[in-house]
Amino acid sequence: MILQGMTVKGIEFIKKLKEASGAGKRRLGRWTLWGMLVAAGLVINSCIEPFSPPEVTNPGTYLVVDGFLNVSGDTSRITLSHTQAVNDDKVFEVESGATITADAENGESYAFQDMGNGSYKLPPTNFNRDVRYRLRIKRANGREYESDYVVVSKTPPIDSVTYRVDPARNAMVIYVNTHDPSNQTRFYRWNFEETYEYRMAYYSSLTRDYTTNQIVPRSDNINVCWRTLASRDIKLGSTIKLSQDIIRDVPVNIVDIGTNKLYFGYSILVKQYGLTREAFEYWTDLAKTTQGTGSLFDPQPSQVTGNIHAKADAKELVFGYFSAAQEQRQRIFIREALGAYPRCTPPDTLNFEDAFNGSAVLLYFYMGEPKSGYLGTSESCADCRSQGGTTTKPSFWYQ
């Protein structure tokens, strides 16, 4: 999620900039014009890097709303979290216990389920795509918020997801292609989920049985894992200056070959959303704000608060943009075996007492010179779960 744990980037400081001299205002204006994306396939690839002027160390806590209404017959998800100061290194705070509904302008209402950990879900629903929707939130503390009504953004299907190696980057670049024959979409956003298979340098065939105080054969395979990661960048494209609504070869992900994600198997699920002009401008401004902004003497971005408002206090800051959109998906697999097989330092040879009572991952019993014993190594060399993956093969994984 792009907005989870969003860091407040000098809100009070930026307000002072806005109140500065006319020259300062002209500089902010030039920044805004520069940031607008109007070229076909132009992508903002903005890793979230906090801007932290020294004047701002405790900017307060504000509500962050992340998610959208998925009208394509899939689950809709909303996440509530809080902003935090740039010098706060604790895990970002999420908020459960809220009541969230999506209201249609024709009077229909749809309630999200509180799943805990700040996550709220609405099961697949047959929405009327010709009416407008808004989001309403009532927090556990009684504060209420609502978004502006938004139209449903129609999204054309993805034509193709392609890839090719960029030797200069030593990376695989993944591209998306799409078009709208009616020339109505014009503004696009993409995100993705990448899944890759990886293996460890050594295979563990032994484990400890503490009920019998024996070393026994391992029944599970902890050598092979799969890990899924969601995109964290803001990727946008527009064809507003073109006669045809065609997107060609927009890069949505760059996979460094040195990570070995491409060695055993790699899959990416690309998700595409049509945007309104207002939503596109919001995501553009958010990308400008979250990318590195240089020194304090460079033009600074304005605060990005979106279309969600506190009912009791119009001046209360709320971060996030609610939209209703069709989601188009396409998954591809890459089987190029790029990278290298993992390598690790040689395992240790242990006697029974050290092998049973120690923390080493046990490989097998070695008979030979210079001595016999149980071979053991670290989790990082033999237990794939230590790298964040799971030993359960994804249901979509190719055989």
Question: Could you count the other beta carbons within 10 Å of the beta carbon of residue 315?
Answer: 6
Q: What is the pLDDT of residue 60?
A: 62
Q: What share of the chain is helix, strand, coil (3-state, %, to 5)?
A: 15, 35, 50
C-alpha distances in Å from residue 230, one per residue of 193, 271, 382: 4, 11, 25
Mean pLDDT for all residues in the chain: 85
Which residue has tokens 């890097």? 49
Q: What is the pLDDT of residue 4?
A: 58
pLDDT tens profile 68-97: 999 998 999 999 999 876 566 667 789 999
Q: Could you tell me which of 259, 199, 243 has the C-alpha nearest to residue 383?
A: 199
Q: What is the pLDDT of residue 38?
A: 35
| H or E, element range at 332 | strand 327-334
Beta strands 235-238 and 187-199: pairing type?
Answer: antiparallel
Q: DSSP letter at 384?
A: G
Q: What is the pLDDT of residue 287?
A: 85
Under DSSP, is residue 141 helix (H, G, I), strand (E, B) or coil?
coil
Question: Could you count the other beta carbons within 10 Å of the beta carbon of residue 21?
Answer: 8
User: Which ranges constitute the DSSP H helices of the chain?
Assistant: 11-18, 22-35, 277-290, 352-357, 379-382
One-letter identity of residue 106: N
Give the end-to-end CA distance of the chain in Å, rounded to a whole number.
30
Q: Could you tell me which of 273, 246, 231 has the C-alpha nearest to residue 41?
A: 246
Q: DSSP letter at 258?
A: G
Strands in 105-199 per DSSP E = 109-111, 113-116, 119-122, 133-138, 144-147, 152-153, 158-166, 171-179, 187-199
Which residue has tokens 């995109």? 231
Structure token pair of residue 341: 């097989």
- Write the secondary structure of 17-81 as one string of H (helix), E (strand) and C (coil): HHCCCHHHHHHHHHHHHHHCCCCCCCCCCCCCCCCCCCCCCCCCCCEEEEEEEECCCCCEEEEEE
Q: What is the pLDDT of residue 64?
A: 93
Q: What is the pLDDT of residue 292?
A: 52
What are the residues facing 69 on neighbouring strands? 324
Low-confidence ranges of the chain (pLDDT < 70): 1-60, 85-90, 290-303, 399
Which residue has tokens 């014993």? 373
pLDDT tens profile 158-196: 999 999 999 999 999 999 999 999 999 999 999 999 999
